[in-house]
Amino acid sequence: VRFPEDLEDDNTTFNPEYSHQVFGDDEVAFGYKGLKILLYYIAGNLSTFFRIEYTSKVNEKFDCVEADDVESKIREIIPPGFCTNTDDFVSLLEKEVNFKPFGMLLHTYSIHNEEAGEDITYQIYKADMTCPGFREYHERLQTFLMWFIETASFIDVDDERWNYFLVFEKYNKDGATLFATVGYMTVYNYYVYPDKTRPRVSQMLILPPFQGEGHGAQLLETVHRYYMSSPTVLDITAEDPSENYVKLRDFVLVKLCQDLLCFSPVKLMQGFSQEMVTEAQQKLKINKQHTRRVYEILRLRATNMGDAEQSRSYRLDVKRRLIGPYKKKQRELAKMRRCLRPEEMTNQLNQIDLNMQREQLEETFQQLVSDYRRVLERLAQA
């Protein structure tokens, strides 16, 4: 909500992607007819307005069943101090002009908005719990995780090893410049013996109204650049990354790596090398596993897949990496042969069909190439 009229505007409304963490695996609130759960946030500081509406509700006295306590379930995840009536919320909205982003400005960028017919400016900040008001703001911000990240959980904000990166949109209201929350990322700094840290991305969320505009890539690249300047950082990883996050990371890392000398077309055609691992880690804080994916994507760009020899060479190179888990299985079988009775061994072998392995390998390879092509298409448009 930026303006009072947004309260009545369905265009500013978006629905949760998940609700199982609040309402159970069936995602059902029992006992209501025409149930509406209304959660409004002021665009900048995220002051909250919460109300429940329904046309009717089962009654324990007459229907012999009890309706779910929806209000209590929501109260468990939103911090206290929220508004319950419109007038209080609108009066808070008038004070929004005083809200300013928290922490240190890292990056400013613009994106052209077709609807508005102009460029809109966005800024990325790094904050921590010492910033006045940030703790309370973060409590409100993290409630979005429950609705948009499938396995979300709230973090221990008293642990000083957390870093917070925030994206804001600058907009004008009655001649004043205001800020709207776009998204954020939390990063935990793990200790690596003897004197390094390994930042690990824990949570990343771009709010639905801003998704698909490139903010995720801007945020991830800014975070990488922030850590790249630190001599104590070993490399940057992610905790249990989603499929979408992996695609985003592929794009950002390839964009960062493409100008390194070790990824020149000539060197790419010579195969994956230790030089690539070393340079990507030292200059860009990218680990070996991610560097290998970057190499495969850039080598695909340098390969003429219409040339039978080049295509075959690329396919074999990628499949040699993909076959690793299958080779591990073969080693496990060799161990089994030494300690299992013949009939037990036959049973194990029946579970592993070599033809099926080949089919799975080819399928995985084709899917990978398809994903890599999408990264390259996006890179060409960037």
Q: State the Cα angle at 310 between 307 and 315, rounded to 5°.
A: 115
C-alpha 339/C-alpha 235 separation (Å) is: 41
Strand pairing category for 176-192 and 237-238: unpaired
What HEC string does 270-330 produce?
A: CCCCHHHHHHHHHHHCCCHHHHHHHHHHHHHHHCCCCCHHHHHHHHHHHHHHHCHHHHHHH
Closest CA to 182 of 155, 210, 220: 210
Query: What is the torsional sign of CA 114, 115, 118, 121?
Result: negative
Residue whose tokens read 């929806």: 70
Q: Answer whether 322's CB lies under 8 Å from 362's CB.
A: no
239 is catalytic: yes
C-alpha 380/C-alpha 382 separation (Å) is: 6
SS3 state at 108: strand
Active-site residue (options: 53, 118, 239, 377): 239
Q: Enter the tokens of residue 135.
A: 């703790």
C-alpha 255/C-alpha 130 separation (Å) is: 34
Tell me which residues are annotated as active site.
239
